[in-house]
Structure 1
C-alpha cells in the first residue's frame, strides 16, 4: 500500500508556542538620557538661585530713584520698563527651573514629553537672559551680569541634547511581542482536509464462504 503522501503535503505549518521573543531594541541610549536629566537638574538649581536673588534683591529704581533718573537722562532709556522687568525676569528664571525639573523627572521615568520640556526651558531661559539685557544695557546703559547669559547658553546645549535621537528613542516604549490568541478573540479555524479514498479490498484467500461446487464426498447424501 502506498504511503499517505496527501496528508503530508496538505498539512499546515504548526504554530510555534513558547516564550515571547525579546523586545525590539529602541536604538537609543538611556545612559545619555540620564546624563541629560542630571544636567537639567543642575541647571535648575542655577536658575532658581537667579530667580530668588531677583525677587528678594534690591531694585535700583527703588533704592536710588534720583540716581536712576539722572542715569535715564544720559541714556535716554524708558524708566517705565524698570518696574515690570524687575518682576518678569525672576519669574522667567523660576519658570525655567520648573520646566527643567519636570523634564528631568519625566526623562528618568522614560517619558518622551520630558525631552520636550527640557527643550522648552531653552526658550524661557533665553527670554530671561534677554530681559536682563534690556534692563541693564538698553535702559540703564550698564553691563548686564554674566550669570544669566551663562545659564542660558548651558540650557541651550542641554535642550539640544535632549531632543537628539539617542535620547528620544531611548524614551520611546519598545515594541511589545504579541503572543496568545490572535486579535479579535477568535482562533483561526482548523483547516479541513479531504478524506483519502482507498479502493475496496476483498478478503484474503482462504476466508469467506466457499465459491464454486463442493469437492467430491461432501454435501448431503443422495
Structure 2
C-alpha cells in the first residue's frame, strides 16, 4: 500500500514537472502596425482674385510739336523776309538761339544778301533788318542785284565796323579754315566787340567773328550746319 502511494506521488511529480517545462502558448499573431493616419491637407488658401489691371491712363502730356524751336524760328524769319523783299529765293545762313529772341541770318537772292531777323522762340518775328551793302539788298526793277563778284571781301557792309576789324576777322577765319575764298556777308558795330559774319568757300558757310574795333579778334565760330564745313 505504501509503495503504491509512493509511486502515485512520484508520477504526479513527474507530471507537474513536465507541465512546468512546457513552453507557454504565445499568441504569435503579429499585429500589423496601424497605418499612419494621413491628415487631409487643408485646402490651399486662395487669394482673393487680383483686381483687374488698371487700364493705361491716357497720356496727359501733349504730343511734342513736329517742329523744334530752330525750325519754328527759321520758318518764321524766312516768311517775314520773303514778304518784306518780295524775293522767293531765301535761305538760312545761321541761327543763334537765345532765351529772349533768337537771331536768324537770312540770305536773299542769288547772292544771299544778308538780312537779320530777331524772332521769339514761339515764332513771332520782332525785327527784320538788311545788314549788307545797299546794292545787295532788296532787288529792284532796273537794278543789277549781282555785280558778278558776289559779296565784297573786306566790305564793311554799310556799318561802322572798322576796316582793321574786318581784315582781322578775314585773316582769322582764313587761318582757321585754310580756305582762301572768303566774303564778308554782314557786320554789326558795337562799342564792345563788333560782329562780322563771313561766308567761307563756294557755299558761303557762315562763320561769326567777334572783334574789337582796333582789330583784335576775340572769338570766331562756325554757325551753320556741320555738313557745310
Verify same fold: TM over 0.5. Answer: no
Task: Quickly name the TM-score band, shorter chain normalised.
Answer: under 0.3
Q: TM-score, normalised by structure 2?
A: 0.21
Answer 1 or 2: higher relative contact order, Cα 8 Å, separation at least 6: 1
Structure label with greater radius of gyration: 2
Going by fraction, where is strand more abundant, 1 or 2? Answer: 2
Going by fraction, where is helix more abundant, 1 or 2? Answer: 1
Q: TM-score, normalised by structure 1?
A: 0.21
